[in-house]
Structure 1
Amino acid sequence: MAALTQKKAFYISNAIKFILLLVCGFLLMVPFIWMISVGFSRTANVQMPFPPKLIPKDPSWFNFNIVFENGQIFRAYINSGIITVCSVILGVTSSLLGGYAFSKGKFKGKKVMFLIVLGTLMIPMEPRLIPMYEMFNKLGMLNTFWPLFLPALVNGFGIFLCKQYFDRLPDSLRESAQMDGASELGIFFKIYFPLTGPIAATLVILTFIWSWNDFVWPLVVLNDPNLQTIPLYLASFSQENGTSLGGLTMALATVSVVPIIILYLFLQRFIIQSIALSGLKE
């Protein structure tokens, strides 16, 4: 009888947790649902619906047709795509190599260097804007894509995450490969790299989101309208039209987040797995 009561209490507890999580998830999704709803509302271009409604009275593809008929959105997509892909490749590769070096490597000053890497996490982007701008200005790289993805080479959070992940992998794999005469790069790429699927997928998602949504730094270094990224194009469109074209603006915002949603749906299962294996889960 006691076991039955305990089992019943367990199911009730899980049901309450599920309902609470469902309610919290819905509340978090409301702004996105409202954004999509306004994007499908043609009359929102004249006056934003008030009070806000999750289902528009006049659903129409008009706003989305206008968005895709404008060639600038495709140019902005290409620009953001180039920057994001380069940032992901450089950021993930450097983070994996740095995490491996700090986890398995043995060299002088490793702890100090790792503390310096962690210290970069305490410096926000704003104080770095002027020094970075001056540096890329002297290199003649302003108004190009180089300043937008080269900083991804040093990602303190990514290196820390990878180090925690590699710490969970056995050192015996490296020692066995060293006995066979393998080099450090050979050990990394042939033995450890195939095991980094979960953490690499997590870094891909995080780096993709950071790069795709970046607004301040591209605004500082890019002046050519033909080089505008998705956030810059959305901001310039909103600044020109304000709320007079609210439906079109929301349709554009909806289109801008589609790549992130698609990528997350494909790679979401790796996030929990990588966090659990990296030692961040309590």
Structure 2
Amino acid sequence: MRDKLAQYTMFIILLVVGLIIVSPFLWMVSVSFDRLANMRIPFPPTFIPEELGAFNYGIIFENGRLLRAYLNSTIVTLASVTLQVSAALLGGYAFSKGTFKGKKVLFLFVLATMMIPIEARLIPLYQMFNAAGLLNTLWPVIVPSILYGFGVFLCKQYFDRIPDSLREAAQIDGASEFRTFFQVYLPLAGPIAATLVILSFMGNWNEFVWPLVVLNDENLHTIPIFLASFSLENGTSLAGMTMALATMSVVPIIIVFLFFQRYIIQSIALSGIKE
């Protein structure tokens, strides 16, 4: 009886906490469907629109800037995710199964990159891409993403749990190191790869500071920059449209997360990471 009571109590607590966490998002969606919110923000906050309709979404999609920003964010995010996940898997495999001098020291340098905030790298990166003549292109946003120390760390922890005997058997059969990775270890790395895709997608889609520095051309703005500029131009006078833009900006993240979420717990459990 006590166990059931404890389970019910825990369920109610988690339900309440979950509703509190989700409530800002639900309010954002509600305001986005409220046409009158462009004249005044509903206060106190309500989850039922005063005038329900898709008016705000129709207006923001009539503006070609949103579709252009979506295209830019899609290009940047897909390219960055591909580079980050590929580099993390290869790096994690090398640090886990490779045998070369200075491996531990080099791995410490990789971990050290996690401690350097983007603010400390803005000026050097800006000067480097400025000297290369790549400012106001998407390249400065895509290329630095290959440095993904956290992803390398996760992959190393994951590959450490896979027996070395698989690599030894492949080498006995005459397989090269790359063939061993792609044909033996990579097929087993689905859970950690899916987790990296989620984390990388969220990080790159929501990236704001660095793209704001290097993308001065309005035609190259990504979704976060476009949303910020729209909010700055209109303030709270067009709250309904602003919330519609915000809702559309998180839809791709929700889709990717729902598609890959089942792999997160599995990959963390297999990587040996504990709280």
TM-score normalised to the size of structure 2? 0.98
Q: Which moved more, 1:139-148 or 1:185-194?
A: 139-148
Equivalent-residue separation in structure 1 for 2:6 and 2:178 (angstroms): 50
Deviations 1:172-214 (A, max 9, x none): 0001001111111000000000001100001001110110000
Pair 1:87 & 2:96 matched: no
Secondary structure of 1:243's aligned partner:
coil
5 Å matches for 1:159-174?
Answer: 159-174=152-167
- Counterpart residue type for residue 118 of structure 2: M
What's the secondary structure of 2:237's corresponding residue? helix
Quote how far apart the aligned CAs of 1:13 are.
Answer: 2.0
Q: How does 1:193-272 map to 2 (within 5 A)?
A: 193-272=186-265
Hey, which bits of structure 1, 4+ residues long, moved more than 4 A? none
Are positions 1:21 and 2:22 aligned together? Answer: no
- The answer on 1:125 being equivalent to 2:118 is yes
Partner of 1:136: 129
For each residue in 1:242-270, what CA deviation from the matched residue of structure 2 results, as whole angstroms up to 9, or x when unmatched?
A: 11101110011101110010111111101
Shift of residue 215, structure 1, vs aligned partner = 0.5
Offset at 1:278? 0.7
Deviation at 1:12, TM superposition (A): 2.2
The CA RMSD over aligned residues, in Å, is 0.9
Residues 1:155 and 2:176 aligned together: no
How far is 1:14 from its partner?
Answer: 2.1
Alpha-carbon distance, 1:152 to partner: 1.5
Deviation at 1:44, TM superposition (A): 0.9
Is residue 71 from structure 1 mapped to residue 64 from structure 2 by the alignment? yes
SS class of match (1:164): helix
Secondary structure of residue in 2 paired with 1:114 = helix
Aligned residue among 9, 13, 35 for 2:2: 9
Contact 2:36 2:50 in 1 (8 A): no
Q: Distance in 1 between matches of 2:8 and 2:127?
A: 56
Instruction: Give unmatched runs, 5+ long, in structure 1.
Output: 1-7
1:41 to partner: Cα distance = 1.0
Unaligned runs of 5+ in 2: none
Partner of 1:35 in structure 2? 28
Shift of 1:15: 1.9
| Counterpart code for 2:49 | P
In the TM superposition, what is the alpha-carbon distance from 1:281 to its structure 2 partner? 3.1
Q: TM-score, normalised by structure 1?
A: 0.96
Partner of 1:3: none
* Percentage identity across paired residues of the two chains: 65
